Amino acid sequence: MDQRLQTVYSGQGTAGSLSAQRNRVLRNTYWLLALSLVPTVLGAWVGVSTGIMAAMGTGMSMIVFLVGAFGLMFAIEKTKDSAAGVAVLLAFTFFMGLMLSRMLAAVLGFSNGAQLVMLAFGGTAGVFLAVATLATVIKRDLTNMGKFLFVGLILLFVAMLVNIFVQSSALMMTLSVIAIGLFSAFLLYDIKRVIDGGETNYITATLAIYLDLYNIFQNLLALLGIFGGDRE
């Protein structure tokens, strides 16, 4: 009987330890995510103030984005188990803020540009709060969801590449709406992975969630600029 009780208590202790670990990863992820907004805003401010991205042109800025983004993400992966990983992640978020500056400058060129940016930020925050709450309520395992989301991401990327040459405003708006829905689903998937213990590294978790929110904000801002921009 004592041995059985010891087994039960041992199982409860293990479950409690795993739960504490998951909560710690989730808490660290949210703290680092909040911190990552600082270099993002700073990068965006530098980009808008200097106009460096606009000066590069579309082709060069795309090359800089691809090389810089993938290079920094590779560096994050290599340093994610050390304190250096945090510094590299924050450098990445600064870079992403810089990349966002071209769109921000265009939207801020509207007379109501500042309101549109704040609206996009508020909308993104609202999506995050809703999805984060939903992730804590859903009990179903969403692991298989990742495969379908990845396929959707590939198709979206191909469609966006095609639109670079087609230059269709209708297609761009459609893709922006799809992107908001797709990255909202990615956000649910990534947060749920942390909650369920599928992701145990808070730096990797922060990177995934940050990219989800970044893409939601970017596409929401694009739609608001198209439909709500006032040039007067």
- pLDDT tens digits for range 179-202: 999 999 999 999 999 998 888 899
pLDDT at residue number 227: 81
Question: For the chain, which residues make up each domain, given as ranges?
Answer: 2-228
pLDDT at residue number 8: 46
pLDDT at residue number 15: 54
175, 156 Cβ separation under 8 angstroms: yes
CB atoms within 10 A of CB 24: 12
**Residue keyed to tokens 């703290």:** 31
CA 132, 116, 72, 58 torsion-angle sign: positive
Alpha-carbon distance 168 to 98, whole Å? Answer: 26
CB atoms within 10 A of CB 3: 7
pLDDT at residue number 221: 95
Alpha-carbon distance 163 to 220, whole Å? Answer: 18
Residues of the chain with pLDDT below 70 are 1-16, 229-232
pLDDT at residue number 9: 47
pLDDT at residue number 56: 81
pLDDT at residue number 96: 96
101, 47 Cβ separation under 8 angstroms: yes
pLDDT at residue number 86: 95
